[in-house]
Amino acid sequence: MTEHPTSTVSTPRRRLEDWLTVATMAALALITFANVLVRYFTDASFAWTEEISIFLMIVLALVGGSAAVLRESHIRIEFFADGGSERRQRALAQFGALMVALLFIAIAVLSVPVVWDHYRYEETSPGIGVPQWWYSIWLPVFSALIAARAVQVLVRKARRTPGGDA
């Protein structure tokens, strides 16, 4: 099985996801390590680390999804995606990018009222009591990022000529 040609190259347009991934993983490792140290030396733990860790893992999944869409390394059935003529492959890739864009536009639009309700009703998180919208605001933001990356792939595929890369 061959690796996708764009999956190993880091270009400026991919740096946003790369840096967000690094920052999120660093924060996750740091708070987990701090909690381990506190537990080891005091037999207690920071109560907030679990809630923040879960939030960071969700952020990591959304950022990873955005990177996968941009790099065209998301899950697909290669028998269909890589089979047939170049024209068919490009059409399937465009269709896939369009469906991803529509899905994440829908998620972004439908999650805004949830964020608004969290803000309006002053809901707080169960673990540490911070406003819930501090967590939920990121779903429409990252969904919009994923949709934008899917549109970027769609445009790139539309510009590509059947004989080479444009």
Instruction: Report the percent of the chain where pLDDT is more than 70.
Output: 88
pLDDT of amino acid 17: 94
CB 97 within 8 A of CB 68: no
Lookup: tokens for 22: 């690094």
pTM of model > 0.95: no
How many Å apart are CA 64 and CA 145, to the nearest integer? 11
With a cut of 70, say whether residue 11 has pLDDT above it: no
pLDDT at 38: 92
- In the chain the first and final C-alpha atoms are separated, in Å, by 25
Distance CA 64, CA 54 (A): 15
Average pLDDT over residues 22-46: 93
Q: Token pair for residue 73?
A: 């390394």
Tokens describing residue 77 = 């059935």
Closest among 62, 39, 55 to 126, alpha carbons compared: 55
pLDDT tens across 35-86, in order? 999 999 998 888 889 899 999 999 999 999 999 999 988 888 887 788 889 8
Three-class secondary structure assignment of the chain: CCCCCCCCCCCHHHHHHHHHHHHHHHHHHHHHHHHHHHHHHHCCCCCHHHHHHHHHHHHHHHHHHHHHHHHCCCCCCHHHHCCCCHHHHHHHHHHHHHHHHHHHHHHHHHHHHHHHHHHHCCCECCCCCCECHHHHCHHHHHHHHHHHHHHHHHHHHHHCCCCCCC
